[in-house]
């Protein structure tokens, strides 16, 4: 690997010596009174947050910890972007809301791809660290649950899982009682004059959204003439992209669990693969899929 002073793609100089790139005169060197890269990112705190518990130490435990910690960082950003997109829809600022959703999609793509790293952990390697996880499980990720709530997969029973964590419980309780991203989109449509069924606008937002044929009719009119409804049409497709990526994440999770522990129960007490497979049947935006059966018919 090249050192910080080498240019890896530069040809060697005569005699075989590598080209050395000198530090430019204007580059900051003294950080005794200035903020450094490590200071800004709080790297001492971040890089000291990995605490393997295996005894004797197992090489692969650091992979398992870093995989899940980085996922939680991306989930933090995902929550930030989704809440902002919802707030922008609340004020009918569709263009910046779409920009937020574009970023949400890129984040989800990273989360999907991350599973390929954890998939390098073989069953034998995982078996060496699994006892040290005790009852901890990804099922207990309150940030993932918050993302699901924001997207509309509401379940009051899930909040109880976080009774031990006051902050997580408070956030999930708040999100449970707030409209989802889809609710915000439907309210935006109603304000623009679309005939969104009144029952959807006054529904109990603590429950999952239920499919509504009247809303399929509204969406079908949009898909019948995209140029006349371009902003709405584009938003529908962005939401479908988001759900597609969430489903890809769920499926890759299932695959990695299956190749690592087979059909054994999860560490948190779930049925493991069977539990994850049922999640694939959960949908956030059912009308945006139902309308596809009508397009061109």
**Full DSSP string of 44-69:** HHHTT------SS--TTHHHHHHHHH
> Which residues does the annotation place in the binding site for substrate?
64-68, 126, 130, 267
- Answering whether pTM is above 0.85, one says yes
CATH number for position 185: 1.20.58.480
Give just the sign of the alpha carbon dihedral 253, 255, 256, 261. positive
Spatial separation of the C-alpha atoms in residues 33 and 222, rounded to whole Å: 58
Residue 2 covered by a domain: no
Q: How confident is the model at residue 274 (pLDDT cuts 50, 70, 90)?
A: confident
| 263 vs 160: which has the higher pLDDT | 160
Residue 82 covered by a domain: yes
Q: How confident is the model at residue 13 (pLDDT cuts 50, 70, 90)?
A: low
Owning domain of residue 170: 58-293
Residue 24 covered by a domain: no
> Which residues does the annotation place in the binding site for heme?
253
pLDDT at 11: 58
3-state secondary structure of 6: strand
| Percent of the chain's residues with pLDDT above 70 | 94
In this model, does residue 149 exceed pLDDT 70?
A: yes
Q: Measured between alpha carbons, how far is residue 138 from residues 66, 187, 216 in Å?
A: 13, 33, 35
pLDDT at 263: 84
Residue 7 covered by a domain: no
CA atoms within 13 A on the CB side of 203: 23
> Which residues does the annotation place in the binding site?
64-68, 126, 130, 253, 267
Structure tokens, 137: 């499980």
Structure tokens, 49: 């947050």
Spatial separation of the C-alpha atoms in residues 166 and 172, rounded to whole Å: 10
Average pLDDT over residues 115-138: 93
Residue 194 covered by a domain: yes
Residue 73 covered by a domain: yes
pLDDT at 17: 62
**Full DSSP string of 157-210:** HHHHTTTT-HHHHHHHHHHHHS--HHHHHHHHHHHTT----HHHHTS-TTSPPP
Spatial separation of the C-alpha atoms in residues 140 and 64, rounded to whole Å: 16
Residue 6 covered by a domain: no
Spatial separation of the C-alpha atoms in residues 135 and 131, rounded to whole Å: 9
pLDDT at 277: 87
Domain count of the chain?
1
Per the prediction, the chain carries an average pLDDT of 92
Residue 42 covered by a domain: no
In this model, does residue 12 exceed pLDDT 80?
A: no
Spatial separation of the C-alpha atoms in residues 240 and 216, rounded to whole Å: 14
**Full DSSP string of 148-162:** HHHHT---HHHHHTT
């Amino acid at each position: 690997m090249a050192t910080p002073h080498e240019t890896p793609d530069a040809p060697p100089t005569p005699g075989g010596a590598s080209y050395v790139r000198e530090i430019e005169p204007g580059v900051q060197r003294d950080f005794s009174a200035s903020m450094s890269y490590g200071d800004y990112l709080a790297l001492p705190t971040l890089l000291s947050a990995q605490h393997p518990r295996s005894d004797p130490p197992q090489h692969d435990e650091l992979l398992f910890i870093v995989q899940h910690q980085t996922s939680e960082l991306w989930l933090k950003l995902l929550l930030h972007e989704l809440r902002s997109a919802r707030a922008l829809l609340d004020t009918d600022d569709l263009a910046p809301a779409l920009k937020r959703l574009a970023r949400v999609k890129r984040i989800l793509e990273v989360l999907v791809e991350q599973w390929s790293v954890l998939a390098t952990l073989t069953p034998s390697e995982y078996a060496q660290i699994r006892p040290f996880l005790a009852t901890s499980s990804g099922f207990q990720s309150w940030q993932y649950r918050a993302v699901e709530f924001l997207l509309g997969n509401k379940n009051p029973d899930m909040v109880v899982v976080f009774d031990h964590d006051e902050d997580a419980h408070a956030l999930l309780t708040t999100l449970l009682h707030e409209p989802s991203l889809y609710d915000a989109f439907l309210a935006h449509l109603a304000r623009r004059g679309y005939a969104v069924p009144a029952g959807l606008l006054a529904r109990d937002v603590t429950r999952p959204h239920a499919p509504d044929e009247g809303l399929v009719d509204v969406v079908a009119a949009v898909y019948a003439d995209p140029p006349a409804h371009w902003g709405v049409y584009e938003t529908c497709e962005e939401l479908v992209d988001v759900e597609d990526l969430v489903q890809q994440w769920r499926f890759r999770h299932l695959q990695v669990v299956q190749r690592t522990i087979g059909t054994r129960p999860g560490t948190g007490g779930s049925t493991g693969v069977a539990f994850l497979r049922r999640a694939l049947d959960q949908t956030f935006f059912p009308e945006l899929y139902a309308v596809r059966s009508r397009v061109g018919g």
